[in-house]
Amino acid sequence: MCNGIVAPLVEDDDERRHAVERHSGAERGTQSHDKAVPQALAQNFRQGWADSARTLPPLPGAAYAAKRRAALSERFPGERIVIPSGGLKLRSNDFDFAFRPHSAFVHLTAEQGTSAVPDSVLVFEPHGNGHHVTLFTRDRSPRDAGPRAAEFYSDRRHGEFWIGRRRTLAETADAFGVEAATREGLERALGGAAVPTRVVRGEDALVDAAVAPAPEAERELLTFLSELRLVKDEFEIEQLRVAIDSTVAGFHDVVAELRHATGLGRGERWIEGTFNRRARLDGHGLGFDTIAASGAHSTTLHWIHNDGPVRDGDILLLDAGVEADSFYTGDVSRVLPVSGRFSDAQRRVYELVYAAQSAGIAALRPGARYGDFHDAAVRVIAEGLEAWGLLRDAEAALAPDSTLYRRYTLCGSGHMLGLDCHDCAAARTETYMEGRLEAGHVLTVEPGLYFQPDDLTIPEELRGIGMRIEDDFLITADGPVILSGGLPRAADEVETWMASLM
Binding residues (CB under 6 A) for ligand GLY: these are 288, 319, 331, 421
Pick the piece of the chain touching Mn ion (CB under 5 A) from 155-163, 177-185, 241-249, 326-334: 326-334
The candidate with the shortest Cα–Cα distance to 115, out of 155, 62, 38, 41, is 62
Cα separation of 187 and 182, whole Å?
11
Question: How far is the first Cα of the chain from the last one, in angstroms, to the nearest whole number?
Answer: 37
Instruction: Output the smallest distance, CB 104 to ligand GLY, in A.
Output: 20
Pick the piece of the chain touching Mn ion (CB under 5 A) from 66-74, 360-368, 439-447, 489-497: 439-447
Q: Which is nearer to ligand GLY, 152 or 450 (CB)?
A: 450
Cα separation of 414 and 307, whole Å?
27
DSSP label at residue 308: S
DSSP label at residue 142: P
Q: Which is nearer to Mn ion, 391 or 419 (CB)?
A: 419
Encode burial over 193-206: b for 16+ CB neighbours within 10 A, e otherwise.
eeeebbbbbebbeb
Q: Which is nearer to Mn ion, 22 or 415 (CB)?
A: 415
Q: Which is nearer to Mn ion, 207 or 292 (CB)?
A: 292
Site track for Mn ion across 339-358, x = CB under 5 A: --------------------
The candidate with the shortest Cα–Cα distance to 312, out of 341, 291, 289, is 341
Instruction: Output the smallest distance, CB 460 to ligand GLY, in A.
Output: 29
Between the alpha carbon of residue 325 and those of residues 10, 12, 280, 498, the distances in Å are 40, 41, 9, 29
Q: Cβ neighbours of residue 485 under 8 Å, at least 6 residues apart? A: 471
Instruction: Output the smallest distance, CB 356 to ligand GLY, in A.
Output: 16
The residue from 34, 331, 423, 472 that contacts Mn ion (CB under 5 A) is 331
Q: Cβ neighbours of residue 32 under 8 Å, at least 6 residues apart? A: none
286 binds, among Mn ion, ligand GLY, none (CB under 5 to 8 A by kind): none
Pick the piece of the chain touching Mn ion (CB under 5 A) from 84-92, 169-177, 185-193, 330-338: 330-338
Pick the piece of the chain touching Mn ion (CB under 5 A) from 16-24, 43-51, 85-93, 329-337: 329-337
Q: Which is nearer to Mn ion, 137 or 329 (CB)?
A: 329
Between the alpha carbon of residue 458 and those of residues 74, 152, 411, the distances in Å are 55, 62, 19
7 binds, among Mn ion, ligand GLY, none (CB under 5 to 8 A by kind): none
Cα separation of 147 and 376, whole Å?
63
Would strands 80-84 and 197-199 be described as parallel, antiparallel, or unpaired?
Answer: parallel
Cβ atoms 7, 20 nearer than 8 A: yes
288 binds, among Mn ion, ligand GLY, none (CB under 5 to 8 A by kind): ligand GLY
| φ, ψ at 472 (rounded to 5°) | -110, 135
3-class state of residue 8 by DSSP: strand
Pick the piece of the chain touching Mn ion (CB under 5 A) from 134-142, 347-355, 390-398, 444-452: 444-452
Q: Cβ neighbours of residue 47 under 8 Å, at least 6 residues apart? A: 144
Instruction: Output the smallest distance, CB 467 to Mn ion, in A.
Output: 14
Instruction: Output the smallest distance, CB 336 to ligand GLY, in A.
Output: 16
Half-sphere CA count of 341, side-chain side, radius 13 A: 2
DSSP label at residue 329: B
94 binds, among ligand GLY, Mn ion, none (CB under 5 to 8 A by kind): none
Q: Which is nearer to ligand GLY, 42 or 421 (CB)?
A: 421
452 binds, among ligand GLY, Mn ion, none (CB under 5 to 8 A by kind): none
Edge-to-edge strand ranges of the sheet holding 130-137: 179-182, 130-137, 121-127, 80-84, 197-199
Instruction: Output the smallest distance, CB 83 to Mn ion, in A.
Output: 26
Q: Which is nearer to ligand GLY, 235 or 370 (CB)?
A: 370
User: Is residue 257 close enough to count as binding Mn ion by CB under 5 A?
Assistant: no
Instruction: Output the smallest distance, CB 405 to Mn ion, in A.
Output: 19
3-class state of residue 468 by DSSP: strand
Cβ atoms 334, 316 nearer than 8 A: no
User: Is residue 444 close enough to count as binding Mn ion by CB under 5 A?
Assistant: yes
Q: Which is nearer to ligand GLY, 106 or 317 (CB)?
A: 317
User: Is residue 34 close enough to count as binding Mn ion by CB under 5 A?
Assistant: no
Q: Go through the chain and tell me how many residues it has.
A: 502
Q: Which is nearer to ligand GLY, 324 or 421 (CB)?
A: 421
Q: Which residue is nearest to Mn ion (CB)?
A: 331
Instruction: Output the smallest distance, CB 421 to ligand GLY, in A.
Output: 6
Sign of the four-CA dihedral 108, 476, 426, 301: negative
Instruction: Output the smallest distance, CB 268 to ligand GLY, in A.
Output: 16
CA dihedral 322, 324, 329, 330 (to 10 degrees): -50
Cβ atoms 174, 62 nearer than 8 A: no
Q: Which residues pair with 448 in a beta bridge?
A: 468
Q: Which is nearer to Mn ion, 155 or 471 (CB)?
A: 471
Instruction: Output the smallest distance, CB 99 to ligand GLY, in A.
Output: 22
Pick the piece of the chain touching Mn ion (CB under 5 A) from 252-260, 345-353, 399-407, 438-446: 438-446
Q: Which is nearer to ligand GLY, 15 or 319 (CB)?
A: 319
Instruction: Output the smallest distance, CB 383 to ligand GLY, in A.
Output: 24
Q: Which is nearer to ligand GLY, 15 or 423 (CB)?
A: 423
Which residues contact Mn ion by CB under 5 A? 331, 444
